[in-house]
Chain A
Amino acid sequence: MLDVSIHTKFERSYEFLRDFSFYLVKEEAAGFGKKVLVLDYVVPTPLGTSWGLGGTCVNVGCIPKKLMHQAALLGQALQDSRKYGWQYEEQVKHNWETMVEAIQNYIGSLNWGYRVSLREKSVTYLNSYGEFVEPHKIKATNRKGQVTYHTAETFVLATGERPRYPGIPGDKEYCITSDDLFSLPYCPGKTLVVGASYVALECAGFLAGLGMDVTVMVRSILLRGFDQEMAERIGAYMETHGVKFIKKFVPVQVEQLEEGMPGRLKVTAKSTGGEPEIFEEEYNTVLLAIGRDACTRNIGLETIGVKINEKNGKVPVNDEEQTNVPYVYAIGDILEGKLELTPVAIQAGKLLARRLYGGSSTKCDYINVPTTVFTPLEYGSCGLSEEKAIEGYGKQNLEVYHSLFWPLEWTVAGRDNNTCYGKIICNKHDNNRVIGFHVLGPNAGEVTQGFAAAIKCGLTKELLDETIGIHPTCAEVFTTMDITKSSGQDITQRGC
């Protein structure tokens, strides 16, 4: 029996996406002199894909996604470059295998870095599947089926999520998900992306950017939960840039016409609204991105009485990330009602360890968390969507300032004008406090980060107006935003 104080249990994949999440809990806890055990086990996808230490973000999420998005952006840059005077004869082509190998090599170095990190902090690591068998005790089963038992004073669940399958014929046998895409050893070819989540749109976006024939099949709306005006603009941009959309349809069957890498698949879909309509089409690859389910079902939580939301498997916790069982905590994507973001999980984990062992009482602040969707036209936001703001404050109490803008770098390249867009939502009854920030344009993540800090400091419209812009940038548009939605004025740009 190990004298283990914190036993962190993971199933399938780490919840600690980047570098730090569980590391920070472990490292923080280990830093406080606690003995820590980490269990990580990735249950292979239906097609056999698996990966190393580091969780979703590192292996099959943020990291490879942003790298592939970058690959697509570079393709666009090559096109723009000719307008800037670059001359080259060769036709530019993209090699999928070269890109995947480079990305996987980088991920491999991260996986190894985490192993070293854990060892340096004397954290015990087991590549085993964990399940609770009785209070304070878990059973760990490794790949070879060997079983060990471990007890601990405290447990932290960070088991994350995995892609959901629709439950139609051919889904698990022939379709891939984001779990498979980032290490796919062959170019996916003509692809159907099913779903309208940010995962679906980001993947569809970079696949199209790399030159593939991409169609997105949407059941109802794009980016549910996000500001819908921004979601529509994102979709419109993708449509004018080569991504086909089939709206209000769901797939009902996927059949294999020909085996191969890629093979040929036939998809049959049914309309969701109005007239019953059937749609049939052939694709090389079908990528399912209809949502993710929490990995909380087969880890023995019911044995020790940890309550989960039966519908989605998520774990309700109090504001100290504690479940209904006092010695079991949870962080990351499995939390009920919290944002599914890497840095949120990291922060929550770090603060949790400090509260448990460092005598701190600081809780994780989930308000005004900035995010960015890396679609071909990137979307960064912090604070409330316009819908949520109206719901919470009432339309008459808000002032929304907005503007279209044309990035300078796009002018010479001859790229779309009046497409990039920014808006801020202000609370009239609180000094025009900025309660929602939204930007659609290049480098949206970099732009949004700074404004997120300002919002945390209580940014108001006046302070924003007093801030002098940096010229020429895209972000400066927020320092000179004069036109309100309520005025009805036209925001179409006519020149510099």
Chain B
Amino acid sequence: MAQRLALRRLLSLAPRALPQQAPVARHSRAFSTSANCKSTFNVQDGSDFQDRVVNNPKPVVVDFHAQWCGPCKILGPRLEKMVAKQEGKVLMAKVDIDDHTDLAIEYEVSAVPTVLAMKNGDVVDKFVGIKDEDQLEAFLKKLIGA
């Protein structure tokens, strides 16, 4: 999709309410509760992914999403909510596939949303597309319990 560098410059002049994240500030990730803040994070780059996902002692669900993907906008908040309910036993990493294409390709993401369940650096479970809250809860419980 198209990006406008000029608009980015224009926005940088205006009072900025949103965190500076390329390209145009339309992806506003507002963390609603304090529990969310701790258990969900946006992956910054490859080494950040290594540190916070692959090398994390806790299990992590990785939400591969895209700005142009409608279903992602539904699944994202729903998954965040269910992750928060697990009270820190599982964390959630969000990866924008256009910003981190190499990562998406490495993990063979074809369609979005794709959610991977990672434990000790390995992909132990995965699903593609939207799931409801009960299905997500089961997915998370399996990851934590396994």
Contacts and interface: CB of A to CB of B under 8 A. Distances in A.
Contacts of A48: 4-9
Q: Which of A50, A59, A60 has the most CB of B within 10 A?
A: A50
B70 A105 contact: yes
A112 B111 CA distance: 9
B97 interface: yes
Contacts of B2: 49-52, 59-60, 104, 107, 182-183
Nearest to B69: A109
A188 B67 CA distance: 24
B68 A104 contact: yes
A185 B66 CA distance: 19
Nearest to A117: B110
A468 interface: no
B1 A111 contact: yes
B98 interface: yes
A60 B3 CA distance: 12
Nearest to B101: A115
Interface string B101-117: 10001000010100000
Contacts of A109: 66, 68-69
Nearest to A115: B101
Contacts of B1: 51-52, 59, 104-105, 107-108, 111, 183
A77 interface: no
A116 interface: yes
A59 B110 CA distance: 20
A105 B69 contact: yes
Nearest to A108: B68
Contacts, number: 68
Contacts of A115: 101, 105
A50 B68 contact: no
A185 B4 contact: yes
A49 B68 contact: no
Contact of B105 (A49, A108, A119): A119
Nearest to A183: B2
B4 A112 contact: no
A262 to B, nearest CB: 13
Interface residue tally of chain B, by bracket? Answer: 20 to 34
Interface string A41-57: 00010011111100000
Contacts of B9: 48
Contacts of B3: 49-51, 183
Nearest to A118: B105
B127 to A, nearest CB: 18
Nearest to B2: A183
Q: Which of A49, A52, A112 has the most CB of B within 10 A?
A: A112
Interface string B80-101: 0000000000000000011001
A106 interface: yes
Contact of A112 (B5, B24, B66, B70): B66
A256 to B, nearest CB: 14
B68 to A, nearest CB: 3
Nearest to B68: A108
A108 B67 contact: yes
Contacts of A111: 1, 98
Contacts of B112: 112
Contacts of A104: 1-2, 68
Contacts of A49: 2-6
Contacts of A182: 2
A367 to B, nearest CB: 36
Nearest to B10: A261
B18 to A, nearest CB: 15
Interface string A226-262: 0000000000000000000000000000000000010
Q: Which of B7, B69, B70, B97 has the most CB of A within 10 A?
A: B7
A60 B1 CA distance: 10
Nearest to A52: B1
Contacts of B67: 105, 108
A48 B69 CA distance: 24
A105 B68 contact: yes
A182 B1 CA distance: 10
A52 B2 CA distance: 7
A281 to B, nearest CB: 25
A47 B9 CA distance: 11
Interface string A173-190: 000000000110100000
B135 to A, nearest CB: 24
Given A105-B69, A105-B70, A107-B68, A112 B6 contact: no
Contacts of B66: 108-109, 112
Interface string A99-129: 0000011111101100110010000000000
A14 to B, nearest CB: 14
B105 to A, nearest CB: 6
B7 A185 contact: yes
Contacts of A119: 105
Contacts of B70: 105
B11 to A, nearest CB: 10
B101 to A, nearest CB: 6
Q: Which of B3, B67, B105 has the most CB of A within 10 A?
A: B3
15 contacts: A47-B4, A49-B5, A49-B6, A50-B3, A51-B2, A52-B1, A104-B1, A106-B68, A108-B68, A109-B66, A109-B68, A111-B98, A115-B105, A182-B2, A185-B7
Given A44-B5, A112-B68, 8 more contacts: A48-B6, A50-B2, A50-B3, A51-B2, A59-B2, A108-B68, A109-B66, A109-B68
- Which 10 A-B pairs give the minimum distances between C-beta atoms? A108-B68, A183-B2, A48-B5, A105-B68, A48-B6, A108-B1, A104-B1, A51-B2, A116-B110, A107-B1
